[in-house]
Structure formats: structure tokens, C-alpha cells
Amino acid sequence: MKLNKTQPIGVFDSGIGGLTVANAVSKLLPNEQIIYFGDTAHLPYGDKSSRAIKQYSYMIADFLLEKKCKAIIIACNTASSIAYTFLKELYKDDLYIVDAIQPVINGVCQDDSVRKIGIIGTQVTIQSEVYEKRFKAQKPDLEVVSLATPLLVPMIEAGNFNDEMSESILKSYLLRKEFEDIDALVLGCTHYPLIKKDILKVLNRDVKVFDNTDFVAREVELDLRRLYLLADKKNQADEFYVSDYTDTFEKTTKIFYGEKIHLELCNIWKNS
């Protein structure tokens, strides 16, 4: 299929987390039109089966393809760990696909000051061991400790941050023995940058915090440039779709992304 630089970039996640990536892409590449899909009907992905996550990711990718996207960013570590290889193979002739994980792995591996790193993510991401495996392949000397932090996504989606509850949950996750001597931490879930300040406050020491956002945006820029697919001018406004709509979701979205977002309900599952 012949792709054109004026086509939009599709970005998806289970909820608002992927907006952290969409935001970074928009800032770096202001000429690009973004089409965002938050699969709020199935949130959280972090405790779903691989089969379900593959199915959701496939339906969303198909929706974004119908919207004529030239590229898809899987702005979700959980979906990236389960469905990236499958989607990349499936759509290899149709569009460009990038996951949330590899760009941050490359970023960490280039930083020689990092010797022991902590990874936090959803149950599915941590159980998949995707970070450990890729670090082991690229930087075998790096010591890696991982922890599933399943309460964080519902907490963020419900708008609990910078309060007593979030502080106590973060303390119980981060102030543990395994993490005592890490010199870096990967936020292995695209929701977590939304509470980066809270995380830094709880860690309260010199730990480098890596997240997917800017690494993914830079990778997209490099790849689209290489493919001659970078847009010269923004012709259409960004579009934001969710598969289920709640007031809380809209409120939280506005806090993090600003008033300009108009969420459109789009149930792509109704015929499945």
C-alpha cells in the first residue's frame, strides 16, 4: 500500500495513559494529525488474558487503518508486550507500527550510568518479562528488578494523584528492599508519567526515571523521516475516541491534556 505523509498517526491505549505518548508526539511533531483511541470499555488491560488483549488490539488497529492512518503507535506497554509482534506481522504491508517498549529500552541501554534498574508495570507486562528479555539481549550486565503495580492504573483513571491515598499506595510499592539500591526506574506503563511527580516525591533520592513518552516520540520522528512520511503541515484537528464514556474519564483527561480534547464515543465492538 502506498502511504502518504498527509495521513494521520493512530495512537491507542486502554485509557488515558496513551495520551502521555500522544502529547509527546504532538509536541515534537506539531504538523502531524493524531487519531487517538482509548479502549475504556476494556480498561484495565493489565489483568486481561493474552487472547483478549490481542483481540482488542487487532480491532483497534483495524479501526485506525480504516481511519487511513499511516502509522500506529501502541501507546500501551501491556498491549505492546502481548500484541506488537502479531500486529507488526499482520500489517507489515499496510502501515508503520511502533511499540511503547523498544524505544525506552534503547534509551536506557545508551546510558552507561545505569547499572541496576527497577521496572514497574501492569501484571501482564511484568509477567511477560518483556523488559528483562530485551535488556538481557541488549545489555546483559544490567541488573533488573521488576514489580507489578496493578493498583496504579485504576487509581490514576479515578483521578487519585497527589493525595494521601496515592502516596500510601506508591510508598508500599516503591519503598521496598529490592528497590533500595536501584539507580534508575522504568515507568513501564504509559499511565505512570501522569504521576511522575508523586513517584519522585516518594522515591526522594537520586534515581533516574525513564518513561516511554519522549523516547517513542523521537523514534517515530526518525522512522517517519526515514520513510519520507513526515507531514509538512497540519490540515486536520486531532481526533479522540473512547469505547466507553464516563464523566470521571473526561474530567481526568482534561486535567492532563487540557480543555482542547473532545472525546467521541465509538463502540467498535458492537458488531464483534
| Sole binder of ligand DGL in the list 73, 130, 153, 156 (CB under 6 A) | 153
C-alpha Rg value of the chain to the nearest Å: 18
- Binders of ligand DGL among 218-257, rule CB under 6 A? none
| Closest to ligand DGL by CB, 6 or 127 | 127
Residue in this structure with the C-alpha cell 464515543, named with its chain if needed: 265
Which of 61, 73, 76, 144 is the binder for ligand DGL (CB under 6 A)?
Answer: 76
Q: Which three cell numbers stand for residue 180?
A: 533500595
Binding residue for ligand DGL, selected from 33, 40, 57, 190, defined by CB under 6 A = 190
- Show the binding pattern over residues 84-123: x = contacts ligand DGL (CB under 6 A), - = does not: --------------------------------------x-
Selected binder of ligand DGL within 26, 33, 57, 125 (CB under 6 A) = 125
Tell me the C-alpha distance between 10 and 32, whole Å: 10
Active site residue 76: yes
Contact status, residue 30 vs residue 235, Cβ threshold 8 Å: no
Q: Is 189 a catalytic residue?
A: yes
Instruction: Report, in Å, the least distance between residue 262 CB and ligand DGL.
Output: 21
Q: Taking the CA of residue 182 as centre, how many other CA atoms within 13 Å lie in the half-sphere pointing to its CB?
A: 24
Q: Which of residues 8-47 bind ligand DGL (CB under 6 A)?
A: 13-15, 17, 43-46
Side chain identity at 45, as an amino acid letter?
Y
- Please report whether residue 191 would count as binding ligand DGL according to CB under 6 A: yes
Give me the helix-helix angle, 77-90 and 50-66, nearest 10°: 60
User: What are the grid coordinates assigned to 80, written together?
Assistant: 505492546
Cα 102–chain centre separation: 11
* Catalytically annotated residues: 76, 189
